[in-house]
Amino acid sequence: MAKRSGIIVLSVLIILCLCGMSLRQAQGIAAAGALPDTGQTKCHNDTAEITCPAPGEDFCGQDAQYVTNLRSYTRLDAGGNDLSDSATDWAMMRDNVTGLIWEVKTDDGSVHDKDKTCTWDA
């Protein structure tokens, strides 16, 4: 198993090198790791919703049976400062699970307008 894991890691590093990604960039992606929970609460068999099955029963192990990294968000002002949950005006939203920050888009022609785009050159 260890040999197989080593081969997988080596393969990923080779692919990253071929794509021009630095090791530091690759480490940043690996560190992100956590994904927010999907919020799925219902279990299903092949055709219908069912009561979530116990371990060993058919259809056990569905997403609804696991709760991990509950979704958590923080509103931010234009300077990236935390705002209270009751704030009615904010510029960004931080996903506290992944650390990603999402810009709130507007429809007012400003720099934050939904029709403005950016390009990222390597």
* pTM > 0.75: no
CA distance readout (Å), 93 to 4, 57, 74, 114, 119:
40, 41, 6, 16, 21
- With beta carbons less than 8 A apart as the criterion, state whether 16 and 26 touch: yes
Q: What's the average model confidence in pLDDT over 86-94?
A: 93
Measured distance CA(82)–CA(14) in Å, rounded: 40
What is the reported pLDDT for 116? 86
**74-83: long-range contacts, CB 8 A cutoff, minimum separation 24:** 76/101
Q: What is the pLDDT of residues 15-49, one digit of tens each?
A: 554 445 444 554 444 445 677 788 899 999 999 99
